[in-house]
Chain A
Amino acid sequence: MKKGLDEQKFLSACIKCGQCVQVCPVEAIRLSDMDEGFGLGTPHISARDQACDFSCDGLQCVLACPTGALTHDIDYPAQSRMGFARLARPSGCLAVQGKGFKGLARGPGFRGKLRYDEVDRWHAIPVAQHPYDLELCDLCVRQCPIEIRRGQCAAGHPPSGDPNQCPPRRAISLEPITTADGRRAMRPVVHDGCVGCGVCEMICPVEPAAIVVDIDRDADTVRG
């Protein structure tokens, strides 16, 4: 969310009131504690526990921020900059191994939420209530909020009927690869439309997650 603001500016602008925490429908935002650096009382997102799934659609945290620490210059999810995803452990990735996935992505005890448009357009539901049965695991691509929006736009139904909601660039896709032992498999590739929301990291069913979000990079720094 801190597009155009580096970390230092963000920390200087934040008044530590937590209004962003209060409006987030999936409770992705938490305030940092004393052992988490100089940002005591400032918001952060631990994507593995609860990513920003943009299920508020309107960037509620940005609207709630009284100081513009979460910059008021952005209106749509695709404009946000929270980090950048990276396939950190390709060997753990089920798609790279050519494997499917069946069951609950993060097990029955996982408390994170995600909005599934086909289940409930308005409310996120616990990931633990949404089992999958996939021939090849593509969860990071399938649940990517940017990719979901691109799909809706391609089908002629942009979110809220607003074409501005359509992300201009791809965020992630599965690309075919040939494994070392000659088998054909797929590999998730992050593109410069990634905003670092962290849904891929949250939903990744292997432990530890094969794909993670780096918060010190974003689409702009990656693109150069």
Chain B
Amino acid sequence: MGYIIESLRQVFGAAPRKPTPETQTVEVREIYRQKRGKGTNRRELAELIEADTTRHRWRIRRWITLILVNLLFVISYHFDVQLVEGALTASRVVGFHFADLNSALQVMLAYKHVVLNLVIGTSTVLVLWWLLGGRTFCSWVCPYHLLAEWVEPIHLWLVRKKIIKGYSFHRGTRTVFYVLFALLALGTGYTVYEWISPTGIVSRALIYGPGLALIWVGVLLAFEVFVSRRAWCRYVCPIGMTYAIVGAVSPVRVRYNVVECKHEGECRDVCLVPHVLSMTIKGRSPDVEVDVGSDCTRCGMCVDACPTGSLRFVVKGLEHLL
């Protein structure tokens, strides 16, 4: 229960809770006590990172999955295989209705009808992403995520070279946008978010051919390169927010173990949503083992980046079976 509440707090924009000594377990306090005064040897850390042969393991798996899923849509249409018909907003997967939760919500708010096919489609998708981890959709399926991930190094380089200054916004902005998009759909009768959704635009462009709408996607990417790192996914996208809520009750999580952690923040540097990794800061973990909150996209970048194996994927409830 604590996990769900803390996850949702962070999803809506609150800062991660800082544990006080009273809310920390005796075990974790003892571990922190033993680590006291022992700074990390930078060279030792660099050697650890150098020796890590699995630095891109999850990223490779994820990129392959993301490209394959999107390719499946394209192939199904162009070669008439009929495995996955439609686009990421709504589809039939071997005949079964699938509907993106936020797209379906937008349509139902704008249309003011409960459409049975969408109820079926959203139920299927809800169960699927509940099982797979909620925002797993973002990093493992969303094609905009991949584009944003590819231009992200340019932004980081520009900031590092002090050519530009990177801006960040309050994460609560996303909650405001979420309510705004819902109200706009309800009030105007148009699915306003669907009109600007880069996920929908890129998905349709891949399947049905490119169009002028890609200019908008270019504008978003430019904003992320020159102004604010991963701004769309962090501060705007209601799809990510919807799946983050689903993910709060999902069994697929990244789990943190404090014992070997060097607290150097390699994981937070690569993370799309670094607030979920606040427990990796020295002294900030409430327990020896903690699950990363549901705003996490389960991209595995932190698992790849961690030189000490302190972060790993777990399926809650299956730990003892596997």
Instruction: Please give 7 more A-B residue pairs, beta carbons under 8 A apart, in addition to A15-B194, A19-B92.
Output: A15-B104, A17-B87, A17-B90, A18-B208, A22-B85, A33-B213, A68-B113
- Say yes or no: A66 contacts B195, CB within 8 Å: no
The yes or no answer to B191 lying at the interface (CB within 8 A) is yes
Q: In the complex, which residues of chain A have a beta carbon less than 8 angstroms from the beta carbon of B117?
A: 66-68
- Say yes or no: B89 contacts A17, CB within 8 Å: yes
The yes or no answer to B182 lying at the interface (CB within 8 A) is no
The yes or no answer to A35 lying at the interface (CB within 8 A) is yes
Known contacts: A15-B107, A16-B200. The answer to whether A66 contacts B121 by CB under 8 A is: yes
- Say yes or no: A18 contacts B111, CB within 8 Å: no
The yes or no answer to B155 lying at the interface (CB within 8 A) is no
Q: In the complex, which residues of chain A have a beta carbon less than 8 angstroms from the beta carbon of B77?
A: 22
**Contacts of A10-53 to chain B: CB distance below 8 A:** 11-19, 21-23, 30-31, 33-35, 38, 40-41
The yes or no answer to A177 lying at the interface (CB within 8 A) is no
Question: How far is A38 from B103 in the complex, measured between Cα atoms in Å?
Answer: 16
- Say yes or no: B215 contacts A66, CB within 8 Å: no
The yes or no answer to A221 lying at the interface (CB within 8 A) is no
The yes or no answer to A9 lying at the interface (CB within 8 A) is yes
Instruction: Point out which of A13, A22, A30 has the most chain B C-beta atoms below 10 A from its C-beta.
Output: A22
- Say yes or no: B115 contacts A16, CB within 8 Å: no
Contact with A along B80-113 (1 / 0, CB 8 A): 0000011101111000010100011001001111
Question: How far is A64 from B288 in the complex, measured between Cα atoms in Å?
Answer: 52
The yes or no answer to B3 lying at the interface (CB within 8 A) is no
The 4 A-B pairs at the shortest CB distance, nearest first, are namely A12-B110, A17-B90, A33-B211, A17-B86
- Say yes or no: A16 contacts B89, CB within 8 Å: yes
Q: When the two chains form the complex, which single residue of A19, A38, A66 contacts B190, counting CB atoms closer than 8 Å?
A: A38
CB contacts between A and B, total, < 8 Å: 103
For residue A9, give the distance in angstroms from its CB to the closest CB of chain B: 7
- Say yes or no: A35 contacts B189, CB within 8 Å: no
- Say yes or no: A12 contacts B190, CB within 8 Å: yes
Q: When the two chains form the complex, which single residue of B118, B204, B213 contacts A67, counting CB atoms closer than 8 Å?
A: B118
The yes or no answer to B201 lying at the interface (CB within 8 A) is yes
Q: In the complex, which residues of chain B have a beta carbon less than 8 angstroms from the beta carbon of A17?
A: 86-87, 89-91
For residue A73, give the distance in angstroms from its CB to the closest CB of chain B: 13
Question: How far is A33 from B211 in the complex, measured between Cα atoms in Å?
Answer: 6
The yes or no answer to A8 lying at the interface (CB within 8 A) is yes
Known contacts: A12-B107, A33-B211, A33-B212. The answer to whether A64 contacts B89 by CB under 8 A is: no
The yes or no answer to B207 lying at the interface (CB within 8 A) is yes
- Say yes or no: B194 contacts A41, CB within 8 Å: yes
Known contacts: A13-B113, A15-B107, A16-B194. The answer to whether A35 contacts B212 by CB under 8 A is: yes
Question: How far is A15 from B89 in the complex, measured between Cα atoms in Å?
Answer: 6
- Say yes or no: B190 contacts A16, CB within 8 Å: no
